[in-house]
Amino acid sequence: MATSRSSITCSSTDTERNNFLRLAQGILGPGTVIARDVLQRYITPYLLSQKVNYNLSIGYRLNKEQRNLVTNASSDGYRKFDITLIYYLLRNLVSDINDPSKPKFPNPTRGWGKSPQPLDHSISDDVERLRILRNHILSHASSASLHDSIYQTAWQQLKDIANRMGRELRKDYDKKLEDLESYTMTEAQWKDMFSKIQSIKGISKCFENETNC
């Protein structure tokens, strides 16, 4: 259940604010790149656009911006797709069709919408983990801060996903996360990061006045 905007608190220490924004960067940056690469592996942008446009039961649940992204995927690719859209497409479309030029996308070990167990390591299990991280850390956040223990657990999970996905997709996601671990934002970069996550449900009110966060 999403946290209402009126209940959001913005007070935090610098460390807790850094924890939150570093993890937000990890999810919105490398985490989202991983999700895009997964989608690219299992269906071409052209076929995806074609399938969604001819499948009303899939397309009607997309908002206008999402429909435009899908419609233009054949020319623009997946570079603007976010985790929410990718998860929806993988779950409701890609897992049920066969792209003759791509491998078959597997269902998660315990089914869609369920939390994977520690030893569930299929590529779709990690897609579920990305969804859960995105929702719990960003969409359902009650404040723009993370206690060290919560941050460390979530960050390690993101690193584990990046490591497994990197081996599976033959990409180097680890380096991008390592760079974030030692990265310190300038004030201008803080504001830029705030603007990127303002629209995510549950935390936008906290960033209306970033000096209070």
Per-residue pLDDT of 83-111, as tens digits, reads 999 999 999 888 777 777 788 899 999 99
Lowest mean pLDDT among 6-10, 52-56, 91-95, 182-186: 6-10
What whole-number distance in Å separates Cα of residue 212 and Cα of residue 82? 28
Does residue 158 sit within a domain?
A: yes
Say what the pLDDT of residue 53 is: 84
Say what the pLDDT of residue 100 is: 78
Domain that holds residue 167: 11-207
- Count the residues in the chain: 213
Lowest mean pLDDT among 127-131, 171-175, 179-183: 179-183
On the question of pLDDT at 10 being above 50, the answer is no
Say what the pLDDT of residue 166 is: 96
Torsion of CA 7, 158, 33, 132, to 10 degrees: -40
Say what the pLDDT of residue 2 is: 37
Over the chain, what is the mean pLDDT?
83
- Per-residue pLDDT band at 139 (split at 50, 70, 90): confident
What whole-number distance in Å separates Cα of residue 130 and Cα of residue 158? 8
Q: What percent of the chain has pLDDT over 90?
A: 53
Say what the pLDDT of residue 199 is: 63
What whole-number distance in Å separates Cα of residue 208 and Cα of residue 108? 38
Does residue 213 sit within a domain?
A: no
Does residue 5 sit within a domain?
A: no
Say what the pLDDT of residue 201 is: 53
What whole-number distance in Å separates Cα of residue 30 and Cα of residue 166? 11
The reply to whether the predicted model has a pTM over 0.75 is: yes
Does residue 194 sit within a domain?
A: yes
Lowest mean pLDDT among 34-38, 133-137, 161-165: 133-137
What the block records as the tokens of 185 is: 């934002």
Number of domains in the chain: 1
What whole-number distance in Å separates Cα of residue 165 and Cα of residue 186? 30
What whole-number distance in Å separates Cα of residue 17 and Cα of residue 159? 20
Does residue 212 sit within a domain?
A: no
Longest pairwise C-alpha distance within the chain: 53
b/e per residue 149-176 (b: at least 16 CB within 10 A): ebbeebbeebbebbebbbebeeeebeeb
Does residue 1 sit within a domain?
A: no
What the block records as the tokens of 70 is: 């899908």
Mean pLDDT confidence for 143-156: 90
Does residue 3 sit within a domain?
A: no
- Per-residue pLDDT band at 141 (split at 50, 70, 90): low
